[in-house]
Amino acid sequence: MPTLVFGVLVLVLVLWALNGYAKADPKYLAKVMRPAGGILAVGGSTYLAAQINEAKEVLLRRQR
């Protein structure tokens, strides 16, 4: 039952966010989303670099 309630809550939040996105001014969205996309790309690449580094360390430990 808690899973169903959580799923309905997530669905409502997603629909609310999509409604706001659909009603937003395109110029404003472009102004906001461009820097947000860059920040997200830098964060994602940092996360992936950390995961690759950790995987290399695990492999090196297993080889010893």
**Using one digit for the tens of pLDDT, what is the confidence trace for 30-47?**
998 899 999 999 999 999
pTM of the model: 0.56
Residue/partner pairs of 42-48 with CB below 8 Å, 24 or more apart: none
Identify the CA nearest to 20 among candidates 11, 7, 29. Answer: 29
CA distance 48 to 60: 18
- pLDDT at res. 60: 87
Q: What are phi and psi of 2, to 5 degrees?
A: -60, -30
- pLDDT at res. 12: 97
- Find the mean pLDDT for residues 16-27: 92
Q: pLDDT over 70 for what percent of the chain?
A: 100
pLDDT at 53 over 90: yes
The DSSP H or E segment spanning 43 is: helix 26-63
